[in-house]
Amino acid sequence: MTDQLPDRLSNNPESPHYDEPLLTRGVGIRFNGKEKTNVEEYCVSEGWIKVAAGKSLDRKGNPLTITLKGKVEPFFHDAEKKE
């Protein structure tokens, strides 16, 4: 398995950016220097994350999201444990 994270990743199985093996391994996100635990999708090159907007759901049952712009740093949780 590679230690390289993709530029864009989503935790929605219907998304073309979904990657179950990576998500099972445990991916964390630092956004503007702070770790976020509620990220639905991220893009490093464009500098944004999508986070759930409360408990609201869309008509398909997916959480409504808002896009936040800033510095995105993805990392593997298991890589932090080794250090």
DSSP state of 1: -
Residue 69 belongs to domain spanning: 8-82
Q: How confident is the model at residue 78 (pLDDT cuts 50, 70, 90)?
A: confident
User: Looking at the domain assignment, is residue 1 inside a domain?
Assistant: no
pTM of the model: 0.84
Our count of domains for the chain comes to: 1
pLDDT tens track for 20-69: 988 998 999 999 999 999 999 999 999 999 999 989 998 988 889 999 99
Print burial letters for 41-77: b (CB count within 10 Å at least 16), e (below 16).
bbbbeeebbbbeeeeeeeeeeebebeebeeebebebe
User: Looking at the domain assignment, is residue 77 inside a domain?
Assistant: yes
